[in-house]
Amino acid sequence: MRIALAAATAIVATLSLGATAIGASSQTARPGASAPLGPQLPIEGQVTNPDWVQLPTAADVERFYPQLGGMLGIEGVVRLDCTVSALGMLENCQVIGEAPLGVGFGEAALLMAPLFHMKPMSVDGTPVSGAHVTVPLRFNMGSSTDASDESVPALPPPSDQALLLGRRLVEAQGGRAQQAIELNKALEQFEKVGVTSGQSQATTDAHKALLDAMREAYASNASSYFEALADYYARAFSVAELNQIIAFEESPAGRTWTNHQPDIAAAGRAAGQAYNDRVKADVKRLFCQHVICPTAETVRPAPLSR
């Protein structure tokens, strides 16, 4: 049995940036600052309309999307306050707003800060730094296609006897016990995801609330999941077949088979990956027997001449 705890696929995350076009003149002095008489390094002020020359791509956001957020389909918003270097890079960024807390969106935004690049600001032709910019980011989930979209073949309604046997087969396979084991493993893993040293108590409490919500949601939906599985067994197999399968599952050999399912699945994935690697290597070898393929020597760049 497996619980679908993999991260959501096909994340289409977008950045909602509050400012899109400026020059150096858009910098506004803070209250109380006197007008400069000449170039000052660094300058102070708040950039209200940053002229971005580089922004994170959707692929970048997908790469940094918090694991818990991606898995549960949770979206978030973050506001960063950063200083701008003389080269237009963001430095000393701090999270000044994050919702929801406890998922890891603030940490993800900080990791993405080096991917932002503004048009450098200058005073009298001299590059300057020190101004502040506020960067709002919105992490959005796009629509995805997963196992829930797969069609189930139409099967005749099960008899009451077959449905009882289907439920018995679910129990014989250790479905509920195995689900509890895997859920606890997943929660132990995710207890550390999205948690950073020195985070606020509010963030810690929010993270705990998220894990509690996961535990409650999986528990409350377990019965419907196993009932659907039992219904499928009752429709797909005859009463005689169900009795034979249950007899095997409840036998010592059947229990051993069930207990080894996680290892069998892992071995299958490893064997499949090794098979794919060998196939790709053989395809390349056989193809290159008929055409000239580049080698490490032929693609090595020539040394630069003085």
pLDDT in tens, 253-263: 988 988 888 78
Give the model's pLDDT for residue 176. Answer: 74
Amino acid at 174: G
| pLDDT bracket for residue 236 (50, 70, 90) | very high
Exposure b/e, 70-101, CB count within 10 A at least 16 = b = bbbebebbbbbbbbbbbebbbeebebeebebb
SS3 98: strand
Give the model's pLDDT for residue 192. Answer: 66
Amino acid at 112: M
Question: Does pLDDT of 117 surpass 50?
Answer: yes
Q: Is 202 exposed, middle or buried (0-12, 13-18, 19+ CB in 10 A)?
A: exposed
**In this structure, are residues 1 and 261 in contact, taking their beta carbons and an 8 Å threshold?**
yes
Question: Does pLDDT of 137 surpass 80?
Answer: yes
Ranges of each domain in the chain: 45-139, 152-259, 269-295
Of 10-19, 221-230, 259-268, least confident by mean pLDDT is 10-19
Question: Does pLDDT of 239 surpass 90?
Answer: yes
Of 5-19, 191-205, 227-241, 268-282, least confident by mean pLDDT is 5-19
The token pair that represents 44 in the structure block: 């102070």
What are the tens digits of pLDDT across the range 38-96? 333 345 577 878 889 999 998 898 899 988 888 888 899 999 999 999 888 999 999 99
| Cβ-based neighbour number of residue 136 at 10 Å | 16
| Cβ-based neighbour number of residue 160 at 10 Å | 8
Question: Does pLDDT of 221 surpass 60?
Answer: yes
Give the model's pLDDT for residue 216. Answer: 85
Residues 6+ apart with CB under 8 A from 228: none
State CA 229 to chain mean position distance: 28
Q: Kindly state the average pLDDT of the residues 166-192.
A: 79
Which residue in 208, 209, 212 sits closest to 183, CA to CA? 212
Q: 36 vs 49, which has greater pLDDT?
A: 49
**In this structure, are residues 57 and 17 in contact, taking their beta carbons and an 8 Å threshold?**
no
| pLDDT bracket for residue 115 (50, 70, 90) | very high
Task: List the CATH code of the domain at 45-139.
Answer: 3.30.2420.10
Give the model's pLDDT for residue 14. Answer: 41
Give the model's pLDDT for residue 10. Answer: 31
Of 67-81, 155-169, 198-212, 281-295, least confident by mean pLDDT is 198-212
Q: With the C-alpha atoms ordered 81, 52, 136, 189, is the resulting torsion angle positive or negative?
A: negative
Residues 6+ apart with CB under 8 A from 118: 47, 50, 51, 52, 53, 84, 88, 89, 90, 133
